[in-house]
Amino acid sequence: MPREGGIARRRFLKAAATVAPVVVEADTVRPRSAPAPSDRVVIGLIGVGVRGRDHHQRKLLANPRAEIAAVCDADRNHADRAAQIILTQSQRRVGTYYDFRALLERQDIDAVVISTPDHWHSIQAIQAMEAGKDVYCEKPLTLSIHEGRRMVKVARQYGAVFQVGSQQRSDPRFRQAVALVRNQRLGRLLEVTTHLGNPGTDKGAFVHPGVWEPVQTPPEELNWDRWLGPAPYKDYSPNRCHFEFRYHLDHSGGRMTDWGAHHNDIAQWAIGADSSGPVHVDGKGVFNKGGPYNTAGFMEVRYRYRNGVELTCRNEGGNGVRFHGSDGWIFVSRLRLDASNPELLKAEALPRDMRQYDERNRREEIPGTDEHHNDWLECIRTRRRCVADIECGHRSATVCHLGNISMRLGRPLEWDPDKEEFGGDPAAEILARKPFRAPWRL
C-alpha cells in the first residue's frame, strides 16, 4: 500500500486543494417507510421478455413505490406469463395487452418501462410521452442518431421524466470512478478505454456470427408483423427474434450498442460530454460475411473529443472502463474498482462534499429494490431529471452509432456534436437515419 506521505498522496492533496469538487448527484432519497398507495407510481411494462420480466418486473414488484398495472408484449406467451407471475406473487390481476397503444390509452397509468427490441424504442417512448407518461427505456436508447434528437425534443416538450436503462450510473463503483475522474484525482484526463469483452474475464468477446435457420412460419403466439413494427420486413426465423435481434442491424447495433451503451455512457459522463460527444471517429471492424448476424464481430473504434481526450472502444481486454490520467489510472467494472494508487479508492480520500454525496446515496435498503429504479421513481415524484436522463442516453447511443457507421463505411469521420451532423459525408448522414416501415413514423 502506498505511504501516506508519498508522491501520489501529495499530488492528491494538492489536487484536492485546488480543484473545485464535482459532485455526481443522484437526488435519490431513501424512504423511511412504505409510501401510501396514492403515492405509488402506477406502471405499465411494455416488453416483458427476459429483461422486462426477470429484471424490471421482478424488481418493481418488490418496490413499495411502484405498482404494476399492466403488461404488454407482441408475444402473447410473454405477456400472459408476466401477468401470471404478478397474479401468483401479489394476488393482483393486471391488464394484459399485445399492442402497446392500448396500454397507453389507460389514464390510470403514470409511467411505462420499455424493454422491447431497439427498433421500437423511439416510437413507443415518444407515444408514451405524448400520452403524458413518464418513461424508463432500456438501453441502447435508439436505433439511429436521428431518433434520439426527436426523443429529446418530445421529452422536453411534455416535461417527461425519463430514465435510460444505463444502470451503471446508479452503481456505487462506477459513480465513485466517475467522481474521482471528474475531480481530477487522476490529474488531467488523457484517455479512456472501454472494453466490451466478456465480463469476469480478461478476454475479448468474439461475436458469434450465428447459425443459419430456414425461414419459418412465426409461432402462433407471436404477432410477427407487430414485433417487426417499423423495421424493414423480413421473414421470421428464431435467430432474428427474441434476444438475438441485437446482432441484426435492422433491429440493433451488436456488441457496440449492447455493452457500448453501458461503458461508453460511463466514458461520456466522466469526460463531461453528457450533452455533447466526440468530434472525430475512426472505426475498424470485422464483419462476418457468412452471416446471418451482420453486426461487427471484432471492433476497435477510436474517438477524439474537443478537449483532447481520446476514447478507445474495443471488444477485447475483458469488460469495464479504464481511465488514464496524467497522474495515474482507474479501472472500473461491475466486479471491481482498481487504481494505480489504491489510496484514491479509500472513502477518506474523497473530499468532504463527495463523502456527503456518498452518505446521501447509500444503497436502498429495501430488499429486492434497485437504485436505478428508485432514482426514476423519486424523480417522478419531484419532477427532476434522472441520473441517466434522455439526453445522456441519446448522446451515449450516438457514440455507439458513430462507431458502427465508421466501421461500416470503413473510413474516419468528422462529427459536429452541436449540430449533430457529419462534416461533408452524405453517406454517413444516410446511415444516421433509418427509415420506418409504413405506417410508423417518428
Partner 1 sequence: MPMNPAVNEWIKQLAHTDQVVAYYAYQCLEEEVFHASGPKDTATRAELVKALGEALAAQRTAAAGVQAARQPLYPARARNRLARLLSYLPGPEAVPYLAQALEDLEVREMARFALESNPSDHATEALLAALTSLGPVFLAGVINSLTKRRGAPVLAALRKAVEDPQGEVRLAALEALADFPEPSHDPLLEKSTRAEAAEERRRAHTARARLAETLRASGRKAAAERLYRAILASGAPESQKKAARLALGETAI
* Binding region for partner 1 (CB under 8 A): 130-132, 153, 157-159, 161, 212, 232-233, 287, 289-292, 294, 383-385, 408-411, 424-427, 429-431, 433, 435-441
Which CB, 219 or 232, lies closer to partner 1? 232
Grid cell in block for residue 90: 401479489
Q: How far is the CB of 327 from partner 1 (least distance, A)?
A: 39
Q: How far is the CB of 254 from partner 1 (least distance, A)?
A: 14
Which CB, 222 or 431, lies closer to partner 1? 431
Q: How far is the CB of 439 from partner 1 (least distance, A)?
A: 4
Q: How far is the CB of 199 from partner 1 (least distance, A)?
A: 30
d(CA 12, CA 414): 36
Instruction: Confirm if 21 and 353 have CB atoms less than 8 A apart.
Output: yes
Measuring CA to CA, which residue among 340, 397, 211, 401 is closest to residue 288? 211
Which CB, 187 or 218, lies closer to partner 1? 218
Number of Cβ atoms within 10 Å of the Cβ of 208: 10
d(CA 189, CA 183): 10
Q: How far is the CB of 131 from partner 1 (least distance, A)?
A: 6
Three-class SS of residue 45? strand
Measuring CA to CA, which residue among 276, 202, 219, 210 is closest to residue 240? 210
Measuring CA to CA, which residue among 370, 438, 312 is closest to residue 54? 370
Instruction: Confirm if 57 and 45 have CB atoms less than 8 A apart.
Output: yes
Instruction: Confirm if 121 and 138 have CB atoms less than 8 A apart.
Output: yes
Task: Please give the full DSSP string across 235-275, using - where no structure is assigned.
Answer: ---GGGSTTGGGGSTTT--THHHHTHHHHHHHHHHHHT-TT
Instruction: Confirm if 407 and 285 have CB atoms less than 8 A apart.
Output: yes
Residue written as grid cell 454525496: 357
Which CB, 5 or 439, lies closer to partner 1? 439
Q: How far is the CB of 435 from partner 1 (least distance, A)?
A: 4
Q: What is the DSSP letter of 366?
A: S
Which CB, 82 or 161, lies closer to partner 1? 161
Which CB, 212 or 243, lies closer to partner 1? 212
Residue written as grid cell 427490441: 117
d(CA 150, CA 127): 12
Q: How far is the CB of 415 from partner 1 (least distance, A)?
A: 15
Q: How far is the CB of 87 from partner 1 (least distance, A)?
A: 30
Which CB, 121 or 408, lies closer to partner 1? 408
Which CB, 93 or 381, lies closer to partner 1? 381
